[in-house]
Structure 1
């Protein structure tokens, strides 16, 4: 007679072990199913207000300003901008207002430049001429709103202040 067959303990433990592994398999399947369900909705879409700043100001021969306006999209989805309203001050003087259609899509967490034309006020034009002649920077402030159609119809306000500096070797250009 074998001693193993008389000892019921290993058989009882073997039954518990197979029951535990079956429970663990079921729990593992449930965990995998939950993880897959969580991933099925895709990445989180977060929409944040955009911002704008002047990338470059170029004085034209006829006195107009050509502005390269940088539109920044901080959202995790692309935004389609349709409308821009912009007030600009240069050297503490109101330079003018621009209201225009944009019709540009900015990728997520990215920026795009748009080109705008402005005939500035006399005071702001003089502040620009003085900055160019003395080769010194000049402060500017922009404020306004950007209207977007995607991912939602929104109208976000923005405000930005900084300075523009004449670029060496590029007559009439400030960045």
Structure 2
């Protein structure tokens, strides 16, 4: 008898939503087990395949950094939008692990645009899947919320491709499409 999996289509195609001023949340159902998903959040070499590399001390108060290499996420021949050409290979962005409870909770902060930004990853088993609830706080301006929403939506899409053993989808065309959609969807701060 096969296990009945939750309907992932609606959750996995849904948009991030504002919870309160300056806070966005995105939910996805990912293929498990939870330990595998966790490894893609905390192991630098796995994390760099979908988001950003960089060291991370897996403990409360630990040092971390995010090393963005968008060039590595782009497909051959993808046109980098003009406003992102200077951010293709950024200097490491230092941060701090606020809470780390493997394999269910990771909260960290790093300097983003106008100040310290906080990201929470909550993982919970759901049948053979894992529910990811990603919450990004301290976004002070609409343009930052739009960029963050499109960014997480695109990056988590790449994570889903990796976990489902699919070829990675396009990065910049998807990000640009989502920037326009989130600009229309999200309210001013």
Greater strand fraction, Structure 1 or Structure 2: 1
Kindly indicate which of the two structures has a greater share of residues assigned to helix.
2
TM over 0.5: no
Normalised by the length of structure 1, the TM-score is 0.30
Report the structure number with the largest CA radius of gyration. Answer: 1
Larger RCO (CA under 8 A, 6+ residues apart): 2
